Amino acid sequence: MFRSSSALYAHITCPVLPRCRLPHCLFSHGQQHHFPPVERPVRKRQITNSASTASSCVNTGKESDSSRLSTIQSARGKKNSLALRETAKRTSESNTLPTTPTKRARQQVSLSSKSTKSTVATSSLTASEDEAKDSSVVYILPVKPHPPALHSQRLQLATALAKALRDKKLSTTPNNAASAKELEIASRTTSVTYANTMKQHIISLGKRGKQPEKVENEAKEVLTERILEYLPQFVHKEWQLEENKYMTALPSENDIDEARAAAASGYEICDRCTRYFMVGADGQAECVHHWGKPYRVKGSDKRFSCCGETEGMTAGCRTSPKHVFRITHYPRLAVMNPFRKAASGDKFPAAVALDCEMGYTTLGTELIRLTILEFPSNKVLYDSLVKPIGDVIDLNTRYSGVTSVDEPGIPTFDAAMKTVLENYIGSETILIGHGLENDLAVMRLCHQKVIDTSILFPLDNPELVSRGYKRSLKSLASSWLKRDIQVSSRTSAVVQSTTVEVVSENGGAGFDGSVPSSVAAPEAFTLKLEGHDSIEDAKAAADLVALKAKFMLALQDQRHAAATS
């Protein structure tokens, strides 16, 4: 018979007494022999105070069966409550760190602090940035799966960002803030867009706290400086000037003497009807000519633009009382009025736009209007009529727009050139214009720093270029600037003042897209209803050069960004 672990039958008298000889009988045998109930086995997790429970059970062997049962039940309750208290204690200890951390706890805290440092850039450096201590250098943190740029480039841009934050006092921890912002940009950009995004962010920091007008003006100043720095690359080489009939050196005395001897006969070729005539002779034949240029329509003969007649059918559609002539040989021009060069100095502008209007006199073609604009602002520096040296034959109003040069106060050629060469054109000043070889010839100026838009914007057909054909300024302005110039419906003022801005009703906008808003009334002026406007033409040439410069700078920036990415 096995021993009962619960003593459920210990209070019942054994039915086979006195013959029962079982050492471990389930029933009670009274005082004859007593076997105390065996303690119920306890799980290993509830081993606490098991010894005391067992001893208490053994000591109560002489008590009655009911008292033994109550003792066993009370012991079980104590064990259960003790186990609950132990579990609650362990739970509370796990929720709170000990006052003196163990070695393992210290290691865990150290690892967590390192991970916090590695991710400090992703969080804007927490809300308590003012109280945080800034790092001594700008750190470049890794970007997964791969960074958008080399480490050196990222460090350079991040350092520039930190400097901007420090200079503008936008952060008390500029190095940490720069590292965080750089990591943010590097994580969301590619190798193509990373550098530009960083630069734009740095520029935007510099604009904080400024008025929009001031920011716009600063941007224009920066663009103007970059254009002026790039402008020398457009200056034509000496061989280009020679190919386009520019004067590259002053004529020698021998050449001038030979030209003077050749001009002694007094005969010239008419620039309109191509006939020989004696200059200044009385009773010379009238000049019958076409004032327009011949053009060819596909599949037909050449026709004149002035009247539409076929070339060779008639002598001309217009009759003028006198013949006119043009001299293009530089030594011959030097015979009438010597050439000169501009003086050196730092007081002159870096670049100016230039345009001249010419008329026919007894000395050939002479200067009758001179306009100089500052580049690239298109501010009028000088605009004046000029009284020619020879007697006027035809002011060529159809093209020059000038109807008279007899008003009082108009400067002579020598006075006008003296003012220009003393204030506006130096030896290092870059002259911008269209077909400037003619303008420099009538100005008697030998200058090699030239940007000619007829050379800068050549025709697409190389064969026509080799034959000397060029695009007109009107065509270039229409194609590139979307601007109509040299139209007969325009009205503008020709002024004598050298510092006044002139508004043209149909004139082109300046480099910055603005039109002068103030007009000063000159002492003497001539209104013109047809012909070219020298201010308008000079602006068009200047804007064409500025447009190409901006295009080349943008292309340069793209190539630089591609090379550094």
Q: Quick one: 428 exposed, middle or buried, by C-beta within 10 A (0-12, 13-18, 19+)?
A: middle
Give the pLDDT band of residue 524 (cuts 50, 70, 90). Answer: very low
Query: How does the average pLDDT of the chain come out, rounded?
Result: 77
Cβ–Cβ < 8 Å for 27, 13:
yes
Give the pLDDT band of residue 338 (cuts 50, 70, 90). Answer: very high
Stretch (H or E) spanning 69? helix 65-95
pLDDT at 50 over 50: no
pTM score: 0.58
pLDDT in the model for residue 132: 53
Cβ–Cβ < 8 Å for 154, 186:
yes
Give the pLDDT band of residue 167 (cuts 50, 70, 90). Answer: confident
pLDDT in the model for residue 162: 92
One-letter amino acid for residue 335 of the chain: V
pLDDT digits (tens, 9 = 90+) for 91-100: 444 444 444 4
Angle, CA of 77, 78 and 82, to the nearest 5°: 120
Higher pLDDT, 328 or 135: 328
pLDDT at 510 over 70: no
pLDDT digits (tens, 9 = 90+) for 441-499: 999 999 999 999 999 999 888 888 888 889 999 999 999 999 999 885 444 444 433 33
pLDDT at 124 over 50: no
pLDDT in the model for residue 183: 92
Q: Quick one: 554 exposed, middle or buried, by C-beta within 10 A (0-12, 13-18, 19+)?
A: exposed
d(CA 98, CA 214): 61
